[in-house]
Structure 1
C-alpha cells in the first residue's frame, strides 16, 4: 500500500514525527511534529517521561491527518539500552531510568570480576559500557528485588511505545542486542547467560525483526485519532535505523553523529576477537542480520552541554565560528566516563586540561575548539583500530545524522585522516525507519533498492582533505 508513512524518531534531547512517501524514483520526507525530550530527576533517579513521549506521538499522528497525509503505517525508534518492566496486568512497574543515571556505578566491574570479560564478549560481542541494560537490570535487582519479582514483561523504550499503540508486546532485535543479553551467533536471547546473571528469562519476549507488522493501533486509539494505522517495526535502535540510510555501506566507514558518535562498519558477521574487545568495539544487530561493528564515542553531547551552560545565548553555529578564531590547542580524552554526566561540563573539561598540564580553555571558542579537536582525535583513533582489525583500508567516511551538518568538524576529520568525508543525509534515522516500513509493505523491493533511492533523493556534501583547517565543501 503506497501511502504516507510516519517515522517517529526520538533522541535524548528532542523527538520528531516525519511523514514519508515514495513514488519509486525518490523519497519525499517532511516533518509534521517536533517536541522536546530530556531526562529529569524523579525521586532518586534520572528518568524519561514515556507517557509524555506517547502523548507527543499521538499529537504527531493527529497533525499528519490535519495536514492531509492520512498515514497508513507508523514506526518508532529511540536510543538504546533503557527499558520499563510491566506487571501481570500489563501495568508499568518502573520508570524508564536514563542510561546516564548513576545507579549502575560499579555494577559492570562486579560482573566482569565474577563472569570474566572474555567469556561475556565471546557470547554477546557487545562492548563494555557501564549503562548496558544488563547492568541496569542487575542494579535494579539489588535496589528493588521485590519489584523485580513482580515483573512479568521487559520492554525497551520503543517496545513500550509500540505496546501503548497496539497492545502487542514485542522485543525488537536491533535494540535488544544492545542489552548485552543476546547471543551474537544464535541471534536470540541468551537464556543461559540471563539465568546465570540471576535474572528471569521469562521477562523477555520473542525477538522480532525490523519490518515486522505487529498490527493496527488499538480500537480506542482509532476512535480517538480518527484513523486506522498499522504499526510496523523499524530498526527501533536509532543507530540501526540510521545505518539503513548509508548508501555506500561496502566502501565507507560511517559515523552516526548526534548526541553520541557511533563510528564503524556494517559487517555480515560479528567480530568477537580479543583485539575488538580490548579496543571496546561492539557488534550490535542490524537489519537483515547484518552487524554494526562500531565504537561508541561521547559525541556532540559535550558541545550541547557547553552551549546550555554558557551565560549568553550561543548557537552551535556561533560556537563553530568562534572555534575557528582561536589558537587554543588543548585536547581531552572524550571517552573518559567523567564526561558522561558531569555536574558542569565546562568545569569538567577545564579540570581535565588542568590535570594534564594544558592551557585551560576559558572562552566559548576555546571550549568548542577543544571539543571538536578532541572528537576528531578520537574518531581518527577508532578508524585506525577498525582498519587494523578487518585488515583493509577505507577511502571515505560517511557521516549521517544531525551532526553531519557540523562543517567545522567534518573538515577537521578529513584533514586528520586524509579521507574524503561525505556528510548527509541529516535525517538518516527517520529515513531508515521509513525505508523499513516501505520494504515491509512492498513499496520498496529490498534494502539495496532503498539505498539507491536515498542516493537519488537526498543531497550530500563532500569534504576533501586539506592542509589548512580552513573549511570548504563541494556540493555533489
Structure 2
C-alpha cells in the first residue's frame, strides 16, 4: 500500500490530501489547508509565493515517512520566471492584475480577437498568459530578458519539489500560446510577438514521474526520496477526468464552484466562427483530449449575496434554510443575466443589482412578479439564473458539436445542493449525475495512484472511490426527490 499526497491549489485556498487504497477502497484525509490572497508588491498584484511553497514543503516533510509520491494541480494562466541560475526572478503576478490589459492592447495590433481564437482555440482575455507576457515586457523589459524559462504555477511548484524544469499541456492550454489543432506551442505566434522559443519548457505527459525530492531546490526536502508525479496541472482538466464526459460522448460536464465551467470532451478543437461567437474555449485534458467549454459565473453571486444578507440580518444563514425557502416557491423564479459585469465585482450591492436587473426585465417583458420577492427569494433567482445559463450553453454545445448531450455530470460545490441539482435536471430536461464535490483533488489522486500502479486505470479508481465520493442521479420532472438513486 503506497500513500500519496495531492496538493490541490485554488486561487483563495490550497490544501493537501493524503490518499491510499486499502481493502475498503480509496481512503482520503485532508492534512493541510491554507487560505491565501494576492498582495500588492512593486506596483503589481502578486501571489504570496514564499508562504505557499513553505506550506507545501512543510506538509511534504511532515508526512515524508508515509508517502511515496506528491503532485500538484492549480488554476490556470499564471506563471513564474526563473533565470539561468534557477532562481525565481519575482513572485508570480496574479491574473487579476489590471496591467494585463496592456498586453491585450498590444496583441490587437497584430490580430483581432477572432483571429487569435482561430490560432489558439482560447477565448481571448487579458488574463491569458500571452497577454500577461506582452504586458510584462512592455512594463519591465529587463525582467523578461533575464528569464531562462517560463513555468506555469503547477510546473513551478514541481520545479521547487524536484528540480525538474518541465511543462504539462493541460495547464499550458490555458496560455493562448498553444495551437489548439496540433496541440503544440504555436511557433507562428511566438515569432509574430518576438517571444523566445527557449523560454518554453519541454513538455511531459500527465501520469509520469518528473523526479524525486532528492533533487529539490528546497534543501530540507533533499533528505527524502519521494517521487514527484506530473499530473494534469490544470485543476479543470483534473476535475473533468472524474466525470462521465471523458468516457461518454453524449455527456456534458458542469464544474460548479465560484465559477462554472460547462463543457464536453472531444477528439478535436473547435475554432470556427460559431464557437468563437458562443464564447467557448478549447483546453486540453487527459491524453490530450480537448475540452470545449465555457467559463461562466457560478456560485460567486450566491456567496456574495449570502454574506451581504448575513451582515444585514446580523446572523449566519444556513444553506438548509435557503433550500427550505426556495423549495416552497410555486412555479419558476424570474432570471437575471449573471454574465453582466456588475455581478463579477466584489463591491457590488448584490440585492440592489438583482432588483435593478429584474426591473429592467419587467420593462421589456411586462412581468413585475419580482415586486413580491423577499430577501430569500433572491437565492431562488440566482439558482434559476444559473440553471438557465447552463441550458443556453447546452444548446450552444449541441449545435456546435452535433451531439445530443443527453446527460449532465455535475461536480464541485454546486453538486451538494439537492435543490440546484434537481432544478438543473428540470430546466435542461436532462438527467443530472451529481458528485463528487472535490473533483480536481480526486483527479490528482487517481492519476498518482495509477502512475504508481496502485490502480489499473481511472475507471477502477472511480469505482474504489465510490464510498467516500458518492454520486446521485437526478431525473427531470421527478415529483418525489427522495426517489433519486444513490450510486457508487
Taking structure 2 as the reference length, the TM-score comes to 0.87
| CA distance 1:414–1:141, change in 2 (3 Å) | same
In 1, the alpha carbon distance for the partners of 2:348 and 2:27 equals: 41
Where structure 1 has 5 or more consecutive residues not aligned to the other structure, the ranges are none
How far off is 1:321 after superposition?
4.2
| Aligned-pair CA distance for 1:176 | 0.3
Which residue is equivalent to 2:189? 193
1:121 to 114, 117, 120: 117
Contact 2:102 2:135 in 1 (8 A): no
Partner of 2:231: 234
Alpha carbons of structure 1 residues 466 and 110: separation in structure 2 relative to 1, 3 Å: farther
Return closer, same or farther for 1:329/1:274 CA change in 2, 3 Å cut-off.
same
Aligned length: 472
Alpha-carbon offset, residue 154 of structure 1: 0.9
Conserved 8 A contact 1:298-1:334: yes
For the Cα contact (< 8 Å) 1:261–1:298, is it kept in 2?
yes
188-197 or 314-323: which moved more?
314-323
2:209 matches 1:213: yes
Deviations 1:48-79 (A, max 9, x none): 222212122123324435xxx70100100011
**Gapped runs of 5+ residues in structure 2?**
363-367
Aligned to 1:402, which of 413, 417, 421?
Answer: 413
What does residue 3 of structure 2 align with? 4
Aligned residue for 1:97, secondary structure, equals coil
- Calculate the aligned-residue CA RMSD, in Å: 2.9
Please say which of residues 29-38 and 313-322 is displaced more in the overlay: 313-322
Q: 1:91 to 1:226 in 2, by over 3 A?
A: closer
Offset at residue 237 of structure 1 (A):
0.3
* Alignment-derived partner of residue 267 in structure 1: 266
Q: Sort the Cα spacing of 1:83 and 1:70 in 2 relative to 1 into closer, same or farther, 3 A.
A: same
Contact 1:14–1:34 under 8 Å retained in 2: yes
The worse-fitting range, judged by mean Cα deviation, of 201-210 and 434-443 is: 434-443
Per-residue deviation, 1:192: 1.9
How far did residue 279 of structure 1 move? 0.6
Residues 1:438 and 2:437 aligned together = no
The partner residue of 2:140 within 140, 144, 159 is: 144
Among residues 314, 317, 330, which one is paired with 1:314 in the alignment? Answer: 317
Q: Does 1:57 align with 2:56?
A: yes
User: Within 2, Cα distance between the matches of 1:338 and 1:195?
Assistant: 38
Q: Distance in 2 between matches of 1:443 and 1:6?
A: 14
Cα displacement (A) at 1:398: 0.6
Check the 8 A contact 2:342/2:348 in 1, yes or no.
Answer: no
Deviations 1:196-220 (A, max 9, x none): 1233322211122211211111457
Relative to the length of structure 1, the TM-score reads: 0.89
CA distance in structure 2 between the partners assigned to 1:77 and 1:10 by the alignment: 6
Q: Is 2:75 aligned against 1:76? A: no
Deviation (angstroms), 1:422: 1.0
* Matching residue of 1:284: 283
Q: 1:291 to 1:17 in 2, by over 3 A?
A: same
CA deviations 1:137-177 (Å, max 9, x no partner) are: 22222222232222222111111111111122222110001
Equivalent-residue separation in structure 2 for 1:455 and 1:470 (angstroms): 21
